[in-house]
Amino acid sequence: MNVVAGILSRQIGSRRVDTDRIVLNVRESGTGPLMLFFHGITSNSAVFAPLMIRLSDRFTTVAVDQRGHGLSDKPESGYEANDYADDIASLIRTLGRGPAILVGHSLGARNSVTAAVRYPDLVRSVVAIDFTPYIETEALDALESRVNAGSKLFKDLEAVEEYLAGRYPNIPAGAIKIRAESGYQRVEGGLRPLASPAGMAQTAKGLRADLTQTYRDVTRPVLIVRGEQSRLVSAAALAKTSRLRPDLPVVVVPDADHYVNEVSPEITLKAITNFIDA
């Protein structure tokens, strides 16, 4: 049995949810209070499967393919922070299990904090993994360049894995396999990413929007998690964010890069549970 099938078959179901705003594909497991997971740009909900398994004894864990990603709807436009946040609110209302704990990585972190500001009654708390205000222009330039170069045709799954391993050198082989097996679709001539190229280009541009007012306005509890070696969120950006909101707790994960939850799942799990229990 391959890695993804093995993980996702362990009490994780997949379905598409019509929120009356957009149809979103979700993976879900467990019982208890609602905990939603939101991936980074070009990724999909499967990357959170290992964390979902560990948390599903305490929570109803639901990982979401955000708009333009995975098996969710891919509209031609609507890829700003508020668009994603409104999707989150619509999903929570449709599931009828709020308020929800939101766990977001990168793009998902920005969207989760934005949702907490726009819909505080629907959000219990937020774990924001490796995305803050004050990200330097050079880091966003590099991110946008990588995103726009990612829509390639691959001859087979092995080629996808080789590409991803080179692009994400610190992500363990098992997590690379999850990305490869869940994030691509078979087309004529091989495999292409499920993520919409046009949607990704718009999303990458939207990540440049100023986030300082959003962080200034958030009233729900927020945990900020940064990978010590992150090339997106620098130590300086984190320090400025802490000066903006000194009341928000921070965890810096040693030896982890931007992809904290995949590189260091055990530390990420401990950070989440300690924050929630506190």
| 76: three-class secondary structure by DSSP | coil
For residue 133, the one-letter residue type is P
Handedness of CA 38, 254, 53, 219 (dihedral sign): negative
Structure tokens given for 270: 């401990």
DSSP summary character for residue 48:
G
Q: What DSSP assignment string belongs to 113-147?
A: HHHHHH-GGGEEEEEEES--TT--HHHHHHHHHHH
Q: Which of 90, 106, 196, 264 is catalytic?
A: 106
SS (H, E, C) 45-72: HHHHHHHHHHHCCCCEEEEECCCCCCCC
Catalytic residue among 29, 257, 258, 264: 258
Catalytic residue flag (residue 87): no
- How far is residue 139's CA from residue 119's CA, in Å, rounded to a whole number? 29
Per the residue annotation, which of 43, 130, 196, 264 is the catalytic one? 130
The total of other beta-carbon atoms located within 10 Å of residue 173's CB is 10
Which helix (H) or strand (E) covers residue 223, if one does?
Answer: strand 222-227
Token pair of 228, please?
């010590």
Whether the Cβ atoms of residue 130 and residue 229 lie closer than 8 Å to each other:
no
Task: Please give the sequence-ordered ranges of beta strands (E in DSSP) within 19-164, or none if there are none.
Answer: 23-29, 34-38, 60-64, 100-105, 123-129
- Residue 106 annotated to the active site: yes
Secondary structure E strands in 136-203: 184-187, 190-193
The DSSP bridge pattern shows strands 13-18 and 23-29 to be antiparallel
For the annotated catalytic residues, the residue numbers are 106, 130, 258
